[in-house]
Structure 1
Amino acid sequence: MDQETFESADSGASLTFPMQCSALRKNGNVMLKSRPCKIVEMSTSKTGKHGHAKVHLVGIDLFTGKKYEDICPSTHNMEVPNVKRTEYEAVCLTDGFLHLMDDFGEVREDLGLPNNDLGKEIEAKISTGVEFNVTVLKALNEEAIISLKK
């Protein structure tokens, strides 16, 4: 008898979905140069002799803060990342990794402290024992702490 092998699969939910370029809006999300970005600037040119209005997009990477630009015909589709925001209560800090608890009491310890002013602020609040929540942004299997709330 032949040995059967089975491949593992994910939930089937896509990391991105298509959206017509003309339907995108400022402060929305879009994939620019294969990176998830927040649209900060958007302008549409008039229809030219080749028949398509062009949309000029400027976006800031959700995780690195790097600026990306792209031009796309307004009738074409662009990929939009599925972005998920989650609130966690900060519990403690160990070796540069935050211990975060969700609403169900589950604790995760896999998110590192951001290397910016936000990271310094989180470290200071934990050392003084102040209770606070952090917002974690997830897109394309990448996660980062983007803000904190008291």
Structure 2
Amino acid sequence: MSVNYAKIGELKEGNYIIIDGEPCRVVEISKAKTGKHGAAKANVVAVSIFSGAKKTLMAPVDDQVEIPIIEKHVGQILADMGNKIQVMDLNTYETFDMEKPTEEDLASKIRQGAEVEYWTIMGRNKIVRVK
């Protein structure tokens, strides 16, 4: 699995984290002071990169968490097949199918021949920008 590790206390809003096996972007983080018996706790609220679902994680600030490794690529759309699109990587010329983005601003720009920036995270692809 392509992941790194970091301490929860080092996370900031906008960082990426893996919660319940799902890569997520941190949208809110709050830290509670140390109590009489134990370590300070962090409450992390994150949104899944692929499903958009909200996830939360509560743990001591010195706990290790998994950070997904994000590979950024540029591709070209070869075909629009309804809810899937066929993309060719512009570096390796490899072609593959991937889910069509559900975000309205991205979905409206999807057309044959368009260049896209896509991320590969934990073996899954997601279009993040249409050029």
Which TM-score applies when normalising by structure 2?
A: 0.84
Q: Which amino acid aligns with 1:65?
A: G
Question: Does residue 111 of structure 1 match 2:98?
Answer: yes
Between the aligned partners of 2:107 and 2:70, the Cα distance in structure 1 is 22
Between the aligned partners of 1:50 and 1:38, the Cα distance in structure 2 is 31
**2:118 paired residue number:** 136
8 Å contact kept, 2:74–2:91: no
Which TM-score applies when normalising by structure 1?
A: 0.75
Question: Does residue 62 of structure 1 match 2:49?
Answer: yes
Task: Provide closer, same or farther for how the CA distance between residues 147 and 53 of structure 1 changes in structure 2, counting only shifts above 3 A.
Answer: same
Between the aligned partners of 2:96 and 2:122, the Cα distance in structure 1 is 20
**1:43: how far off?**
0.9
**1:37 paired residue number:** 24
8 Å contact kept, 1:97–1:109: no
**1:141: how far off?**
1.5
Between the aligned partners of 1:143 and 1:37, the Cα distance in structure 2 is 14
Task: Provide closer, same or farther for how the CA distance between residues 34 and 147 of structure 1 changes in structure 2, counting only shifts above 3 A.
Answer: same
Question: Does residue 91 of structure 1 match 2:91?
Answer: no
Between the aligned partners of 2:84 and 2:96, the Cα distance in structure 1 is 6
**1:81 paired residue number:** 68
**2:34 paired residue number:** 47
8 Å contact kept, 2:88–2:96: no
Alpha-carbon RMSD:
2.1
**1:96: how far off?**
4.9
**1:95: how far off?**
5.9
8 Å contact kept, 2:8–2:64: yes
More strand by share: 2
In the alignment, structure 2 segments of 5+ residues that lack a partner are none
